[in-house]
Amino acid sequence: LFHQVYWRKIPLYRLNQTWLFQEGFQIAREPVFERLKRLSDIILASVGLLLFALFFPFAALAIWLNDRGPVFFQQTRVGRNRILFEAVKLRTMRPHAEGDTYTRENDERITPVGRFLRATRLDEMPQLWNVLHGEMSLIGPRAEWVKLVEEYEHKIPCYHFRHLVKPGITGWAQVNYPYGSSVEDTLRKLEYDLYYLRYYSLVLDASIVLKTIQVMLFGKGR
């Protein structure tokens, strides 16, 4: 309880396969919220895409001029109920960049334009299209690369709980914990994702939106 009230996360030692039923899973009890969340996703994603359309020509030109590479980056991610989908982002790394699975601080694969896009989270904007398609929500656990999910599910008990909701462009873990670059970081972020699952509500979503705006304004993305 201390972790939930003061740190607003759920420690992994409390988990077992029946945890959600013991705690009272709010998603199952509030279908109205689910419909409201989808409606707000559609409206806000539509508005966001219209605003992004004004910025996109400049971003696309900057990305192309930097190295004459493609503007978009696509990757297979794991969605709700483990359904796979193609997430679309603005490309921030050199074309055909390979190497480390994770993005590191001062990663040489990231282009100068890409650093700005990542810091401001503008590289995430094309994912609003995934939101309109219903593959993602504006708010939820991070949509992870299928290759990483296979590793995490093998190493982390109950990791699959986070696939009970749609992944989000932003979320409780994303605004409370820095970018994860190891299995240990994933364990810590999962504690925040579980808190989001447990207290899934409009109030919590509103809090995440405010924190996300703060992150974008102060450029804390990686």
* Model confidence pLDDT, tens digit, residues 104-156: 777 889 999 999 998 888 999 999 999 999 999 999 999 999 999 999 998 88
Instruction: Name the more confident of 197 and 59.
Output: 59
pLDDT in tens, 185-221: 888 899 999 889 888 888 889 899 988 888 777 755 5
Residue 129, token pair as written in the block: 């299209």
Query: Is residue 90 helix, strand or coil?
Result: strand
Closest alpha carbon to 184 in 12, 10, 16: 12
Half-sphere exposure of 9 (CA within 13 A, CB side): 18
Residue 216 CA to its chain's centroid (Å): 14
Closest alpha carbon to 167 in 134, 199, 136, 202: 136
Q: Kindly state the average pLDDT of the residues 174-185.
A: 80
**pLDDT score at 29:** 56
Distance separating alpha carbons of residues 87 and 148, to the nearest angstrom: 15
Instruction: Name the more confident of 72 and 33.
Output: 72
Q: What is the DSSP letter of 4?
A: I
Amino acid at 21: F
What's the pLDDT band for 57 if we cut at 50, 70, 90? Answer: very high
**pLDDT score at 200:** 81
pLDDT in tens, 70-96: 999 999 999 999 999 999 999 999 987
Q: Is 23 a residue whose pLDDT tops 60?
A: no
**pLDDT score at 88:** 94
- pTM score above 0.75: yes
